[in-house]
Amino acid sequence: MSKNSNSIFDMFTGRQLTIIAICIAVVFIAMGVSTWIIETEEEDTDESTLTLEEGGSDETGHKYKFEDREKRSKADKADSVVVNEPIEGDPYAELDELIGLEGVKHEVRSLANFVKVQKMREAKGLKSPKMSYHLVFTGSPGTGKTTVARIVARIYKDLGILKKGHLVETDRSGLVGQYVGQTAPRVNAVCDSALNGVLFIDEAYAITQSESSSDYGAEAVATLLKRMEDDRDKLVVIVAGYTKEMKQFIAANPGLQSRFNKYINFPDYTATELYDIFRLYLRKNEYTITKEAAAYMKNELELVVENKSRNFGNARYVRNLFEKAIQQQANRIAKERNISKDELVKITLDDLKVAFREVVQ
Q: For 134-161, how does the pLDDT look when each residue is reduced to its tens digit (9 = 90+)?
A: 999 999 999 999 999 999 999 999 999 9
Give 223: exposed, middle or buried? Use CB within 10 Å, 0-12, 13-18, 19+.
buried
Under 8 Å between Cβ of 326 and 274: no
Question: Per mean pLDDT, which range of 29-38, 62-71, 187-196, 197-206 is the poorest?
Answer: 62-71
Question: Per mean pLDDT, which range of 84-88, 161-165, 258-262, 297-301 is the poorest?
Answer: 84-88
Question: CA 284, CA 131: separation in Å to the nearest integer?
Answer: 39
The DSSP H or E segment spanning 81 is strand 81-84
pLDDT category of residue 287 using cuts at 50, 70 and 90 = very high
3-class SS of residue 307: coil
Under 8 Å between Cβ of 267 and 243: no
pLDDT category of residue 12 using cuts at 50, 70 and 90 = low
Q: What is the pTM of this model?
A: 0.75
Q: Among the residues of the chain, which ranges form H helices?
A: 14-46, 74-80, 91-97, 102-123, 145-158, 172-175, 183-194, 217-230, 243-251, 254-259, 271-284, 291-306, 315-333, 341-345, 349-358
What are the pLDDT digits (tens) for 101-136? 999 999 999 999 999 999 999 899 998 888 889 999
pLDDT category of residue 67 using cuts at 50, 70 and 90 = very low
